Amino acid sequence: MLARLRSPNLVPMLAVALVIAALYYPLMLLANVPVAQRALDSGAALECGSALECATQLRSPVLPSPQQLWRGFANLLFPLDSPNAIPLNAAVTALETLVGLALATVVGFFFAVGIVASRAFERSLLPWIVASQTVPIVAIAPMLVVLLGQYGVQGWIPKAIIAAYIAFFPITIGVAKGLRSPDPLSLDLMKTYNASSWQTYLKLRFPASLPYLFTAFKVAMTAALIGAIVAEISTISFQGIGKMLAENSRASDVVATWVIMIASAALGILLVALVGWLEKVVTPWKR
Amino acid sequence: MEALKVGRPSPAARPLPWLGVVAVGLGFALLALFIWSWWGRSDLAGTGQKLLILAGFAAAAYGVARVANFLAAVRTGPLVGFIPAGLTLALVLLTVEALLRAYQVPAGLIPTPTRVFATLWAVRDVLLQDAYQTVVLEAFTGYLVGCGLGVATALLVSRFVFLERGFLPYATAFSSIPIVALAPVLVKMMGLEWPSKAAIVAITVFFPVVVGTFRGLTEVSPLSLELMRSYAAGEAQQYRWLRIPNALPFIFNALKLGTTLAMIGSIVGEFFGAGGQGLGFRIQIEAGRFGFDIVWSAIIVASVVGIAWYGLVAWLERRMTGWHVSFRE
């Protein structure tokens, strides 16, 4: 973290952030003043006098003002364990995402080993594995949840399964690349030692695929998070970021929707950072 | 490639695997026989019939594996290369059809493939209108805007070091944001009609394109840059002759990823409100009504469009970057 702070990017990053922050307020006013003017013209009983004043306190602003966002955060962050606050819901979504990622890793490894070990497997299944990604997987989410619900699988498990369904693809491709990454010399050495193909996988191919696995994890983590949130949105759920998004979207609570959007962005960045940290721990030789 | 193969290298000339071909034919015939015999019946299948399905599946799977192995050893055109995948699809569809009929799974839960295709044909007009709304208006418009802006931003950022340091970390961070969360906000901002979904798609494809293009523009070999300098090439010429050609493979990778993202983005956007049309809207409405045959039909339409779109970008890539190392045998 300290090394990150000393990086040459800090000053430019701050500058860009400042420019955006400076532009935000005028932009917000520009977007909201016409709406406020219309509200005033229609004779609505507002507590503010002019359109400029009203622009920062609209019920459903085009762009919420900083004060509104601040208040929204204060309202949604506490109490920490309330079913309507962000922390608990974010934790549920994070759990679904991580379980989904674990499932996806198991499936991804299975497919990757199949692809690398058998040409027939690759020729018959790889096109469909690729095609499964051009299918808008989100479309399957509502159906899958209803289906699993019929057989008594409810709560967070279907969401984890949908997350896994989206996340298995990058892991499959990444691990397959990684399993093929050892150079021919090392493979020949294994042959020299008369290693069985099982030993070759265990001692050479799996360790070699670890760096690729983590690169894939970073992509898969975001994919799994999107899967979990979409699953929560498109189904009846009682917990999770997706549920909050759907609720507040239906209730037209614009400020809350913005706050939840920022919170889920933070969750995404946090989860990917977690993968980065894990990578440092597991593959120290890469540094 | 030879060194990467596990086990014994296969002899180059092999006889046609007649056993495999026969097994495929036999397996498919058994499965088809069961489906035909159970057509229109509403009682559960007995143990004998289930064993028949299992035998058919096992024979066909063994045959497909044999045929695929044989075809993997001979280098042929793309059409022949697709045979194993096509056989696999046929096998899965036949088996699913047989199992659903054997266990009498209600159509409200999982419709049989034959039923889905019948529905697809019956509601084709509605789905075509939905596809026009979702694909042409929302996904494609957003895709073009997002990719265009992405490439332009990358060009700008790669030119100025200050921008690179200040902007790029944000772009990488943005790539790990679940885009779904943007959808409700944008739908609220821009209304229920297609522009809000196009905006979602544009933002979704923008970041991967920026990051990919930037990498391509900056990861040029120092030797080539030195050569450019020694010819006293200007900044514009460097871009024209070195950086942009070098970036093309990276750009196309991002564009291919973008096709999938665009379809997903437009469909998820419609979950948050649509003007009564669109594939995502249709899927949500029908899933709520247990009309899964229509849901599957919509998914088939979306997948066909997605695969065709991906194929188009891949074809463009071959046309424009045929010189690249990944296409050389």
Closest residue on chain B to A223 (Cα): B178
Give the Å distances, CA to CA, from B160 to A246, B154, B171, B223, B251.
41, 10, 16, 21, 20
Q: Is the pLDDT of residue B275 over 90?
A: no
A119: left (phi over 0), alpha (psi -120 to 50) or beta: alpha
By the 10 Å C-beta count (0-12 exposed, 13-18 middle, 19+ buried), B220 is classed as middle
Tokens read off for A70? 């601040």
How confident is the model over B283-301, as pLDDT tens digits?
A: 878 877 878 888 888 888 8
Phi and psi dihedrals of B208, rounded to 5?
-60, -35
Are B262 and A138 contacting, i.e. CB atoms less than 8 angstroms apart? Answer: no
**Considering only alpha carbons, which residue of chain B is nearest residue A267?**
B177
Cα–Cα distance for residue pair A136/B64, rounded to 1 Å: 28
pLDDT grade for B2, boundaries at 50, 70 and 90: very low
Instruction: Tell me: pLDDT of B318 over 60.
Output: yes
B82 with A127: Cβ contact below 8 A: yes
Q: Which residue of A has its CA nearest to B72?
A: A119
Chain-centre distance for alpha carbon A148: 23
pLDDT in tens, B12-48: 556 677 888 888 888 888 888 888 887 777 777 777 8
Nearest CB to B88: which of A124, A241, A249?
Answer: A124
Q: Do residues B172 and B211 touch, judged by C-beta distance below 8 A?
A: yes
- Residue A226 C-alpha, separation from nearest chain B C-alpha, in angstroms: 5
The candidate with the shortest Cα–Cα distance to A56, out of A28, A23, A14, is A28
Whether B181 and A150 lie within 8 Å, measured CB to CB = no
Res. B198: pLDDT tops 50: yes
Apex CA B200: angle with CA B198 and CA B206, to 5°?
Answer: 100
What does the alpha-carbon distance between residue A198 and residue A203 come to, in Å, rounded to a whole number?
9
Which pair of tokens denotes residue B285? 């409405």
B29-33's contacts with Cβ under 8 Å and 24+ in sequence apart are B29/B56, B30/B55, B30/B56, B30/B59, B30/B60, B31/B56, B31/B57, B31/B60, B31/B94, B31/B95, B31/B97, B31/B98, B32/B94
pLDDT of B327 reads 58
- Mean pLDDT for B202-211 is 88
Cα B68 → chain centroid: 22
Does B80 or A111 have the greater pLDDT score? A111
In which band, very low, low, confident or very high, does the pLDDT at B1 lie, cut at 50, 70 and 90? very low
Tokens of B196: 């809000």
CB A82 within 8 A of CB A88: yes
Sign of CA dihedral A86, A91, A96, A97: positive
pLDDT given at position B40? 74
Interface residue B260 vs chain A (CB under 8 A):
yes
Q: Which residues lie below 8 Å from residue B225, measured CB to CB, with a gap of 6+?
A: B238, B242
pLDDT at B263: 85
Q: How many CB atoms lie within 10 A of CB A272?
A: 20
Distance between CA A23 and CA A20 in Å, rounded?
5
Q: B326 pLDDT exceeds 80?
A: no
Find the DSSP H helices in B160-193.
161-175, 182-190
How buried is residue A23: exposed, middle or buried, by Cβ count under 10 Å (0-12/13-18/19+)?
exposed
Report which listed range, A15-19, A179-183, B144-148, is most confident.
Answer: B144-148
Question: What is residue A226's predicted lDDT score, i.e. its pLDDT?
Answer: 84
Whether residue A126 contacts residue A115, with contact meaning beta carbons closer than 8 Å, is answered with yes
Q: What CA–CA distances, in Å, run from B193 to A38, A247, B199?
A: 22, 21, 11
Tokens of B263: 């379809």
Tell whether the model's pLDDT for residue B66 goes beyond 60: yes
What tokens appear for B114 in the block?
């034959």
Question: What stretches of chain A show up as alpha helix (H) in DSSP?
Answer: 2-5, 10-41, 51-54, 66-77, 86-117, 119-134, 140-150, 157-179, 184-192, 197-200, 206-233, 241-250, 254-282
- Judged by a CB distance cut-off of 8 A, whether residue B160 touches chain A is no
User: DSSP assignment of B242-270, as one string?
Assistant: IIHHHHHHHHHHHHHHHHHHHHHHHHHHH
Q: How far is CA B273 from CA A135, A232, B267, in A?
A: 21, 16, 10
Q: Which of B171, B179, B146 is nearest to B264 (CA)?
A: B179
Q: Using the beta-carbon criterion (under 8 Å), do B4 and A187 form an inter-chain contact?
A: yes
Chain-chain contact of B267 with A139 (C-beta, under 8 angstroms): yes
Q: How high does pLDDT run on average in chain B? A: 81
Residues on chain B touching A221 (C-beta within 8 angstroms): 176
How long a stretch of residues is chain A?
287
* Per-residue pLDDT reduced to its tens digit, B89-130: 888 888 888 888 888 777 777 788 888 889 889 888 888 888
Please tell me the distance from the alpha carbon of residue B106 to that of residue B109, in angstroms, as a whole number: 6
Q: Is A183 helix (H, G, I), strand (E, B) or coil?
A: coil
Contact of B244 with B98, CB cutoff 8 Å: no
CA atoms within 13 A on the CB side of B176: 23
Put simply, the answer to whether A124 touches B68 (Cβ < 8 Å) is yes
Lowest mean pLDDT among A83-92, A173-182, B104-113, B234-243: B104-113
Model's pTM, two decimal places? 0.78
Q: Tokens for A74, please give them.
A: 């204060």
